[in-house]
Chains A and B, each alone.
Chain A
Amino acid sequence: MSTDTTVEKSGGSGIGPVEGASLYDADNPAPLIEAPRKRTTKTPRATRGNFEMAAWLFMRLSGVVLVVLVITHLLIQLVLDGGVSKIGFAFVAGRWASPFWQVWDLLMLWLAMLHGANGLRTVINDYAERPNTRLWLKGLLYTATVFTILLGTLVIFTFDPNIR
């Protein structure tokens, strides 16, 4: 009986397809949002991984550390002792001669990149609506992040002050 109604309704009411190919009828008047965490016998047990919690904690902790690292970095680079005009190859070479500044910059690179990448990851999760868009945006994000982190690390460790 319900099939009869469906045919009649979809034929007569002139409703076009919206959000996919489905036509609405009296029994099914609107596009359906899948109920969250709908549990059927086939649903695998949810993996209650703590990645999201770890990411959340990391954002808070790295944020606090980055405040110190970045503000000091900006002071040294841009404000103290002549400001931005002093920055040159020699200045950078002089600072990276000390392992302390090497570690400082390495820490800043890793924390800032991971902090920013995780922030963008959540932005993509929140705003990208289609799974494919998410996949591509995140792929791009992770590629850029890994590339920048590896390149920066490589430069810090292999920096040669005598390069011609």
Chain B
Amino acid sequence: MATPTLDKEDAKPEAGFADTPYITVTFRIRRFNPEVSADATWEDFQFEIDPKERVLDGLHKIKWDLDGSLTFRRSCAHGICGSDAMRINGKNRLACKTLIKDINPAKPITVEPIKGLTVLKDLVVDMDPFFQAYRDVMPFLVTTGNEPTRERLQSAEDRERFDDTTKCILCAACTSSCPVFWNDGQYFGPAAIVNAHRFIFDSRDEAGEQRLEILNDKDGVWRCRTTFNCTDACPRGIEVTKAIQEVKRALITRRF
């Protein structure tokens, strides 16, 4: 009567596999609720999770199973919408693109809101200053003359010129990692400059000069100290600092 069931039970430990892929992780989350306390505090959550899951899955687990009051933004959850930029283990990342196994789950994983913007609740910040700077650089195509009946043609080389900066998803990971932006929030910030770069170097656009003039402002590109925090933070791998330097160079070379 050696049943298959018994055999399987014997075989299981022999295979050398752990019973479960789950490990216990600690999420240390910066909580802030202005309706309860004016102070932000750290709160630890311990739970089991597959290390191949993402930090966002951990946050979901907390919100759905452990503490429904945890507040954070996320929309597509696949690294495109740019809603869930947060400071994970001291570095700005998208929670939906960060695997738990990649950030040393043996230690508590700290999750904070991005810096330099007013925290509204838990991980949600006020993005208005960020988008104000974005709006200020006129992030849209400006042309004169008659509209062509079909598309505006552009050569592959002309398109390549600004290809890198078209990847921006406006998650604010770069701007909120910039120490100059942290100071008073008046600096345009890397994201706005990246999106200006996208149009300044677009051969179809005709308002490049206007945008350069906007970025020539006291709080424009000249406040960049090339600390490269933005390039490190960008979840899309945009060479942000390089783009800012190209705008600086254009400001100098197009005028003199």
- A selection of 18 A-B contacts at a CB cut-off of 8 Å is A9-B35, A15-B35, A24-B34, A30-B120, A33-B117, A33-B185, A35-B129, A36-B185, A36-B186, A36-B188, A38-B132, A50-B216, A51-B218, A52-B216, A53-B216, A55-B222, A56-B222, A126-B183
B129 in complex: contacting residue of A26, A36, A50, A127, CB < 8 Å: A36
Q: For the complex, is B146 an interface residue (Cβ under 8 Å from A)?
A: no
Q: For the complex, is B114 an interface residue (Cβ under 8 Å from A)?
A: no
With a CB–CB cut-off of 8 A, which chain A residues contact B51? none
With a CB–CB cut-off of 8 A, which chain B residues contact A56? 222, 248
A48 in complex: contacting residue of B34, B187, B216, CB < 8 Å: B216
Q: For the complex, is B7 an interface residue (Cβ under 8 Å from A)?
A: no
With a CB–CB cut-off of 8 A, which chain B residues contact A31? 118
With a CB–CB cut-off of 8 A, which chain A residues contact B37? 15
Contact-residue bracket for chain B = 35 or more
B121 in complex: contacting residue of A29, A48, A125, A127, CB < 8 Å: A29
Q: For the complex, is B128 an interface residue (Cβ under 8 Å from A)?
A: yes
Q: For the complex, is A140 an interface residue (Cβ under 8 Å from B)?
A: no
Q: Tell me if B252 and A33 are in contact (CB < 8 A).
A: no
Q: For the complex, is B163 an interface residue (Cβ under 8 Å from A)?
A: no
How far in angstroms is the closest Cβ of chain B from A37?
6
Q: Tell me if B217 and A46 are in contact (CB < 8 A).
A: yes
With a CB–CB cut-off of 8 A, which chain B residues contact A55? 222
Interface centre among A38, A51, A126 (most CB of B within 10 A): A126
Q: For the complex, is A32 an interface residue (Cβ under 8 Å from B)?
A: yes
How far in angstroms is the closest Cβ of chain B from A119?
11
Q: Tell me if A126 and B180 are in contact (CB < 8 A).
A: yes
How far in angstroms is the closest Cβ of chain A from B253?
12
Residues of B at the A interface (CB closer than 8 Å) are: 34-38, 117-121, 126, 128-129, 132-133, 136, 179-180, 183-188, 213-214, 216-220, 222-223, 225, 248, 251-252
Contact-residue bracket for chain A = 20 to 34
With a CB–CB cut-off of 8 A, which chain B residues contact A79? none
How many angstroms between the C-alpha atoms of A34 and B184 in the bound complex?
A: 10
User: Can you list the 3 inter-chain pairs with the closest CB atoms, starting with the nearest?
Assistant: A52-B222, A29-B34, A35-B132
Q: For the complex, is A71 an interface residue (Cβ under 8 Å from B)?
A: no
How many angstroms between the C-alpha atoms of A117 and B117 in the bound complex?
A: 30
Please, which residue of chain B has its CB at the minimum distance from the CB of A60? B252
Q: Tell me if B185 and A24 are in contact (CB < 8 A).
A: no
Q: For the complex, is A16 an interface residue (Cβ under 8 Å from B)?
A: yes
Q: Tell me if A127 and B34 are in contact (CB < 8 A).
A: no
How many angstroms between the C-alpha atoms of A71 and B119 in the bound complex?
A: 49
Q: Tell me if B126 and A36 are in contact (CB < 8 A).
A: no
Q: Tell me if B129 and A30 are in contact (CB < 8 A).
A: no
How many angstroms between the C-alpha atoms of A69 and B54 in the bound complex?
A: 55
| Known contacts A31-B118, A35-B128, A53-B222; is-contact A13 B183 (Cβ 8 Å) | no
With a CB–CB cut-off of 8 A, which chain A residues contact B217? 46, 48, 52
Interface centre among A13, A24, A37, A51 (most CB of B within 10 A): A37
| Known contacts A15-B38, A36-B132, A56-B248; is-contact A48 B213 (Cβ 8 Å) | yes
How many angstroms between the C-alpha atoms of A48 and B209 in the bound complex?
A: 13
How far in angstroms is the closest Cβ of chain A from B228?
16
With a CB–CB cut-off of 8 A, which chain A residues contact B184? 129
Please, which residue of chain B has its CB at the minimum distance from the CB of A123? B225
